[in-house]
Amino acid sequence: MASHESMTKRIDKVRSLVSEETGMREWFEAASIALTVLHDTVGSSHPLSSSLRHALEKGDYDRAVAAARAVIHLYDEGGLQSPRLAIAHEIEGGLLDIADTQVQSAERASDLSQKQLQLAIAAFLAGAALEDALRRLCDSNEIAYDTQRSTIAKLQGSLYQPSKQIEVISNSENKQVTAWGDTRNRADHGKFAELTQFEVQGMVLGVRGFIDRHLP
């Protein structure tokens, strides 16, 4: 998912391409960029997407310009936001908020077993938020994955495939996701004694940053 800054740059580019001084070549480019804006915000099923595609296929540049300008208007009015994605982001944020509370409680805990349990809960919740975010990242980039086996490892394997020129996440991010997945697995399998305060706290903060970076 593109950042807000990247999206604004695209909209500004479309804005410059649909002025009265531009011609058909610029209008075609404007409509094409407008399509990517819709795809990365509300999704390709938005009614304006079909209008833009049809206009481009038919060479109807007047219609293409009108639709591109409509995309600009919706963006300026805050109308290019997916309620479903906003809810998903809110849920992930809620899981991470609870995880952060567990980490803070663990830091204050004097009883070792209680401390380990709270760290395990935090790692599990952060892992759940990460797994959901990776699914959303696959969906937003139209990358197929096995919905019955959508583990962190499987999802990141879909998002990072250098041999197929698929690198939605970077090499360093891929390694970090692997480490977070290992932490989550230890929490899942009852290996609480192997979790450390520093590791779990870093995971909670890191997952939040990862989600905000890729799925604002």
Which CATH architecture is the domain 83-214 placed in? Up-down Bundle (1.20)
Q: Enumerate residues 6+ apart whose C-beta is below 8 A from 191.
A: none
The pTM is what? 0.63
The pairing of strands 160-161 and 166-167 is antiparallel
- For the chain, 216 residues long, give each residue's pLDDT as a single digit of tens: 455 677 888 899 999 998 877 778 888 899 899 988 887 777 777 778 888 888 888 888 788 888 899 999 888 887 776 555 666 667 788 899 999 999 999 999 999 999 999 999 999 999 999 998 998 888 878 888 887 778 899 999 999 999 999 999 999 999 999 999 999 999 988 999 999 999 999 999 999 999 888 876
Give the start-to-end residue ranges of the domains of the chain.
4-76, 83-214
Q: Assess contact for 122 and 200: CB atoms under 8 A.
A: yes
